[in-house]
Every structure is written in C-alpha cells, then in structure tokens.
Chain A
Amino acid sequence: MRLRFVLSQIGNGLRRNIAMAVSVVLVTFISLTFVGAAVMLQMQVDKAKDDWYDRVEVNVFLCPGGEPTQACPAGEVTEEQIAEIQSILESEALSDYVQNVYLESKSEAWASFQERFGDQEWAQRITEDQMQYSFRVKLVDPEQYQLIYDELSGRPGVQQVIDQRSILEPLFLVLNRATLISVGLAVLMTVTAVLLITTTIRLSAMSRRRETEIMRLVGASNFFIQLPFMLEGALAALTGAVLAVGGLWLGVHYIVEDWLAESVRFMPFVNTADVFTIAPVLVAIGIGLAVISSLVTLSRYTKV
C-alpha cells in the first residue's frame, strides 16, 4: 500500500511538473556529458602516454657526411667517436637510467627510410650514403631525457639529441586543454543542475504543500513525506545520466572508434567499453546531486 502510494505520488508530481522534470533531465544530461567527456579525455591522455612512453626512445643522431655544419664542423663522425659515445652510454654512471642502447647503421637507417617513404619518388633518389648513424637509447624512465641530453649534446660527432616524447607533446597539450575546458563546463553545468533541481523540488513541495501538511497531520514520517520528492528528483537525474552515457557512447563509437582509431593507427584510443566503466560513476553523481539537493531543500519545506 505504501509503495503504491509513493509511486502514485511520484506520478502525480511528475505529471504536474512535466516541464520542470524535462529541464532537470536535460540539464543533468548536459552536465554529466561534460563530466564524462572530461574523464574520457583524461583516460585518453593516460592511455596514449602509457603506450607511447613504453615505446619512446632518445635518438642521438651522429654527424652525417657532406658539408660541415655548425654542429658538425669536422664532417662525418669517426669510428673512434662512435665508440666513445657508445662507451659513455653504456658506462656505469648511466646504467641505472639506460635500459638499452642500439646503434643504427646507415644501411639500417636507409632500409627503414625506404620502407616508410619508398613509394615516393623523391625518397628513391636518396642513397644509403646520405643517411646517418644514430644511437637509439631506451630509458628506464622516459622522463629522464635531460640526463642523456646533458651528457651528449655538443660532444664531437653528435649532431643532435632528440627526445621522441616531444613529438606527441602538442597532442597531449591539446588533450589537456580540452580536459580543462570540459571540467570547466562540467562544473558550470553541475552548479546549474543543482540550482535547477533545488528550484524544481521547492516548487514541487510548495505546490503540494496542502498534501504534505495533511500527511504530517495524520502522522506520516518525515522520510515518508520527503521520499516522493527525492525519488522524483532522482528519477529525473537518473534519466539525465542514462542519456549522458548514451551520448558519450555515440560520440566514442562514431567519432573515436569508427573514425579516429581507423585513421590514426599509431596510438591506442578510448573505446565504448571505457564508457561503460565510467557509466556507474556518472549515474551515481547524478543521483547523488538530486538526493543531496532534495535533502537540503526539503528539510526547509517539509518540516514536522
């Protein structure tokens, strides 16, 4: 009897206030979509970093032949210089930081170059002798790049020390900025959602004041009086959260999985499974917002 009564109360409340209920649904939908987007963006950054940092190396390019340049006034690197650089990289002092050192010969460099660009005419004119020696240094911790740079740059025979991490830095910068924007919008929209839910519940409580007053008179408990309002808010917020999860799913499925992941293959992407991982969090946030706003509002409007 009680359950049936509560359900009919909720039905009446929602019907009477349908426009407000819809606006609560929409505003929680939008705010939770931004919350979800921010989380997904951070997941993307982490995923890409994990994968990328596993693979990145420090490239130590050695002086190529040909005209002397500022970095290589003496022309091409000599055998002795190569040996010396290798001994530095494999020295005791660096052994804690360096995981692996590999010397790429000119012919290997040419082979991989041809593999990548061989189908293009300009690349076919490049000869093996125009390539250069380089060391591929894999670090235990890719963040320790500076150490290798300080040790080797400017040394005779070394043309340039390049941290592969820097190649993707602009991408991470963009992703982090996007996260910040999403967080900002999420916060704004969440504040809006709280204010709107609070207003809705207050209006709902005022429009049913007579009913709640009679319920109080005949001895209904506070909890029982407040329950329909709370459930109304929670139901609207839950609907918004489900819509937000659906929206994120669509976005990730069509934009990331079907398009980005197909066209950009060197990096892992978030997927729809990740959307379902954060779905419970979004639902919990939505319901939490609704319940907390109702508790705060109702304690003032339906006192015993």
Chain B
Amino acid sequence: MIRFDNVSKVYARGHRPALDQVSVEVERGEFVFLVGASGSGKSTFLRLVHREERPTSGGVFVAGRDLSRISSWKVPQLRRQIGVVFQDFRLLGNKNVFDNVAIAMQVIGKPRHQVMSAVPETIEMVGLAGKEKRMPNELSGGEQQRVAIARAFVNRPAIILADEPTGNLDPTTSVGIMRLLERINRTGTTVAMATHDDEIVDQMRKRVIELVDGQVVRDQARGVYGARAEA
C-alpha cells in the first residue's frame, strides 16, 4: 500500500536530510507506528505519503501509484484515498460537527443523499451520535479529535495517516482514540501513525518503525516503543 524506495528528503540544501535512504513497505490493512525523537523525520514521512512534500531522491509508491510520476492536478485524486489526522485536530471553528465532517465529501462533489447518509453514520461510529450540531469549542479535546477522525474516514479512504493524534490528550482519552483507530484499521484501512506515546505503542503491539536522524534503525512486527534501548 505504501512503499518507500531509498527515499531521501533534504529540505534546505546543505542541511542534514530529514529522511535518509529510507526503504520501507507497508502492506494493505497494516497498522504501523512511526516512533523516534523529535526531528527524526516522522512527519516528513507522512507528508511524503500525502504528497505535501516530494522526495529529494528515491521513489514513493502509494496505492499502486508512483508519486513522482503523477501530475500535480492528479494529486487531489490521490488525497481522496488518504485520510489525515493531526495533533491539533484542524477543525473549522465556525462550522458544527456535521459540517466539519461533511466538508470532506462536499468538496469532492459527493451527491447530497450520500452525504446525508454517510456523515451521520460516521459520526455515530466515532461515538459522537447526538452531537452533530455542536460547535468545536463546545467539545472536549478527545471529542474534537473524534470529529477529525470522522472527517478523515468519512470517504472510506484506503489509508489513514495520523501525526501524533493523541499528542494533546490525556492517557484515558488517548486510549479511546486508539480503540477508534484500531476499529478503523479492522475495516481494512491501512493506518500509519507517528507518535511519542510509549504507553500506547507498548499496549497495542503493532508494527513499529523507529527513525533516528532520518534513518530507519528498527522495523519490528508487534514491537514496543523503546525496544532498541532494551536490546
């Protein structure tokens, strides 16, 4: 589903690369954690998959497409197959829960009847049934992140990219969010999540890819957060 072939990313000429010769393959339906210190390149990895950035060298393949070969006007098509979730939720403060989720369908031209059925269904799935009319500032952090996940998932994408989705949440709320992502993963959606949260990684026992200074130093099935230190 996602394949990196010797990918390097240098943001500014002369600086050390944010990603350095990374080769990784993530299968359809997998759940992977990206871990590593701040600045190790986790967000860069996710942005390359979403084609917000382009690699300096190497090949990025997503959902069977070579991202170096698709023209920029086809990038939106690619993004429709990928849902993204961020640490800061990125909701629209002037739109209610329903509209925040619906926007993902409206802007790609989904017909009204589909929006009217898929949006409430997804809001219910993330556990916010009955809160459709609430504004984001009337929700807790965990609830806001659920709205963001609903928006990312409402088009049933093949891939969900989550960049520290629990970074602003307390441990209990984080567990709820992880349950939700796990549920989404069980529907066959590939999930790639960057995180600093060792408890979560250790609990979930999913595949862990660890980056240090842009290089993959560990790629472990059913891994834990700090295995390298233990090893």
Contact = CB atoms under 8 A, between A and B. Distances in A.
Interface of A: 1-2, 4-5, 210-211, 213-222, 224-225, 304
B76 A220 contact: yes
8 nearest interchain CB pairs? A219-B79, A220-B107, A219-B80, A218-B104, A5-B106, A1-B112, A2-B109, A219-B76
Nearest to A221: B76
Contacts of B83: 218
Nearest to A211: B92
Interface in B188-225: none
B111 interface: yes
5 contacts: A210-B90, A218-B83, A219-B77, A224-B107, A304-B73
A1 B76 contact: no
B179 interface: no
Contacts of A211: 92
Contacts of A5: 103, 106-107
A217 B52 CA distance: 9
B115 interface: yes
A282 to B, nearest CB: 33
Size bracket of the B interface = 20 to 34
Contacts of B103: 5, 214-215, 218
Contacts of B107: 2, 5, 215, 218-220, 224-225
A304 B75 contact: yes
A217 B79 contact: yes
B110 interface: yes
Nearest to B161: A217
B72 A218 contact: no
A216 B75 CA distance: 10
Given A1-B106, A218-B83, 20 more contacts: A1-B105, A2-B106, A2-B107, A214-B90, A214-B103, A216-B76, A216-B79, A217-B50, A217-B79, A217-B90, A218-B79, A219-B76, A219-B82, A219-B155, A220-B108, A221-B76, A222-B76, A225-B107, A304-B72, A304-B76
B92 A218 contact: no
Contacts of B42: none
A152 B79 CA distance: 86
Contacts of B112: 1, 4
Interface string B71-96: 01101111111111000001010000
Nearest to A224: B107
Contacts of B111: 1
B151 interface: yes
B90 A218 contact: no
Interface in B109-124: 109-112, 115
A210 B103 CA distance: 13
Given A304-B72, A304-B75, A218 B80 contact: yes
A218 B108 contact: yes
Most B CB within 10 A of own CB, among A5, A210, A217 = A217
Given A210-B92, A211-B92, A218-B108, A1 B115 contact: yes
A214 B105 CA distance: 12
Contacts of A213: 90
Contacts of B151: 218
A225 B75 CA distance: 14
A85 B189 CA distance: 104
A1 B111 CA distance: 6
A2 B105 CA distance: 9
A217 B75 CA distance: 10
